[in-house]
Amino acid sequence: MRLGLIRHGESEGNVAVTLQGCRIDARLSPRGRKQAEALAVRLADQPVDCVVSSPMVRARETAGIVEAPHGVGVAVDVELVEFDWGVWTGRPLDEDLERQVGEIRARWRSGDVDVRTPGGESPVLAAERARRVLARIAARKAAAPIVVAHGRFNRILMTVLLGRDLSRMDEIRQRNGSLSLFEWNGSAPATPLLLDDVGHIAADDVTDSVLDPGPVR
């Protein structure tokens, strides 16, 4: 199959520069809708036979826009929700939060991927649900499925999909409205065809995660 993975368009939470995670259900911003619409145009003449989305509003709105030219409907998978940032959820960007997020990401990159965010989850736990999501996608037997989810969770899912160690997840960038494509036979590792491609989005409308940017080398 050719599996497409999309990060939702810019959300109101992204604009407010807060760490949203799975507990803040913000809608798309006007620019986020433009990003999703540009992606829909890009994919309009491509085969898409299945669209699966996170239940969170910013992902479902993106999925609905992308799905519209194909008329296949949007299925929701509750385990596609964003990574749980715990007590940091909803906090605005400041030096203290940047330091704390930076410290835990450094631990993850060093291999301590079972370390949880305070009151949240670890990459290991998120990877377990990513594997369950991928198993359900494979069971659909679709030829060209599209999955719409979130920045940090997509990084973890793609790391699993590519058969890489979780400590490498920050090597994969995830900008708003980006498209990643893989040839996949239902088991890892998949073959990447595109990673974090935003060629469909006007340069002035390309946005990245402020609190959780990448890639980090």
Q: Which of 35, 20, 40 is nearest to 206 (CA)?
A: 35
Tell me which residue range forms the domain holding 136: 2-181+190-205
Indicate whether 70 belongs to any domain.
Answer: yes
pLDDT given at position 210: 67
Q: What is the pLDDT of residues 166-204, one digit of tens each?
A: 999 999 999 999 999 999 999 879 999 999 999 999 999
In a domain, residue 138? The reply is yes
Please name the residue ranges forming H helices in 27-182: 30-43, 57-67, 95-109, 123-139, 151-161
Tokens coding 176: 């708003």
pLDDT at 3 over 90: yes
Read off the CATH number of the domain in which 118 is found: 3.40.50.1240
pLDDT of res. 212: 59
CB of 80 closer than 8 Å to CB of 55: yes
Residue 217 lies in a domain: no
Give tens-digit pLDDT for 61-117: 999 999 999 999 999 999 999 999 999 998 888 889 889 999 999 999 999 999 999
Which helix H or strand E contains 76, and what residues bound it?
Answer: strand 74-76
Asked if 152 and 82 count as a contact pair (C-beta separation under 8 A), the reply is: yes
Residue 214 located in a structural domain = no
Q: Dihedrals φ, ψ of 98, to 5°? A: -55, -40
pLDDT digits (tens, 9 = 90+) for 19-63: 889 999 999 999 999 999 999 999 999 999 999 999 999 999 999
Could you give the number of structural domains in the chain?
A: 1
Q: Assess if residue 215 is contained within a domain.
A: no
